[in-house]
Amino acid sequence: MAFTVEDLRDLAELLRAHPEWREPLWALLASEEVRRMPERMERSFQRAARLILALYRAQRQHYKEFVAHRAETDRRFAELAEAQRRTEESLRRLAEEFAAHRQEFIAHRQEFIAHRQEFLEFRAEVDRRFAELAEAQRRHYEEFAAYRAETDRRFAELAEAQRRHYEEFAAHRAETDRRFAELAEALRILTERVDRMERRQEDHSRDLGRLKSMRLEALYREDPGLFRPLLRRAAVVPSARKMELLEEAEAAGRITTEEVDRAAPLDALVEGFHRREDRRVYLAVEISWQGTTKDVARAVERAAVFARALGAEVIPVVAAKELTAPARRMARARGVWWLQDGRAFAPQEIPEEGPESEEA
């Protein structure tokens, strides 16, 4: 039976437990010559023994590591064996599936052969029909070529007819342009004459409007009774007295020179007594055949100047045969009275309807 490392370890334990056994064991192991070696050699031998013991311990550690490595290797080999088993099982299933697919492929191949035969027959039929279509196309092309030649001939005839018609049209258009030019010139002359007549009519209308306004202004100045709807004992202030009143107010510093210039053209300044109250009031009257917003604005502005000049109440009035719709709206908004043929309309009583247009 071989002497193992474990036996050596047990021997070392016995020798430590029974030191007296060392000498007999040494006598058995060493020769006479070795026993007679000096003490220095004995220390060398002890060092060698310690070295052997260190080697033994390292071998023991390596053995433990080997055992652990072998266990890990066995585990990995078991995993590899399981993977191999699963692989073989997969290969077996693949082989079965391949066999089934091979049978299916054989069946499909037979169907493909049958379909290929049908396709060859169909292609032959298609080739035959294409040949028939090619022949029909050739005949159609010949018919089309003949038709195109006939069409080209007819287009040539149409082009020639179109050319002759265009020449006739050009001559007709030249004649028409000449006549239109004559008509345009005649229309221009007629338009100029109508424009001159319209301008003359406008001039006549303006002159007539001025004459009507002048006549109406003279009427109101000559007949103070027309102001009876607004005043009692009404009297028109003469133009010279009207200027004296403005100049006196300017000298007293109640109004400015510019205000004198703006108020002096007032058509009529009327004084009298209020219809319901016994107090003196004045009317700043703008007279026009057709009253406009300009007349309303002038009446308001000039009444304000005369009110400061006289230190009295001055009522703005527009005396007119008619008031435009814009003038009516302005009069209602700015408190201007409308005097029409002896009838007085308070601002809030002025009708809203009237002609929209105004003279410039």
Mean pLDDT of the chain: 82
- Span 312-331, average pLDDT: 94
- Span 221-245, average pLDDT: 87
pTM listed for this prediction:
0.42
| Paired strand residues for 268 | 285
- Span 118-132, average pLDDT: 83
The residue type at 202 = E
Task: Give the DSSP H/E element, type plus range, for residue 323.
Answer: strand 314-323
Residue 360's pLDDT is 40
Q: Given pLDDT bands bounded at 50, 70 and 90, which one contains residue 207?
A: very low
Alpha helices in the chain (DSSP H): 5-17, 22-29, 32-35, 39-222, 239-251, 257-263, 293-310, 325-334
Residue 204's pLDDT is 41
Residue 269, phi then psi, degrees to nearest 5: -110, 120
Residue 33's pLDDT is 56
Most confident among 31-35, 86-90, 127-131, 290-294 (mean pLDDT): 290-294
Contact predicate 283/270, CB 8 Å? yes
Among 24-33, 160-169, 194-203, which stretch is predicted with the lowest mean pLDDT?
A: 194-203
- Span 238-243, average pLDDT: 92
pLDDT tens per residue, range 298-314 = 999 999 999 999 999 99
- Does the pLDDT of residue 206 top 50, yes or no? no
- Does the pLDDT of residue 221 top 80, yes or no? no
Q: Where are the beta strands (DSSP E) in 191-278?
A: 231-237, 268-274
Residue 44's pLDDT is 67
| Paired strand residues for 297 | none
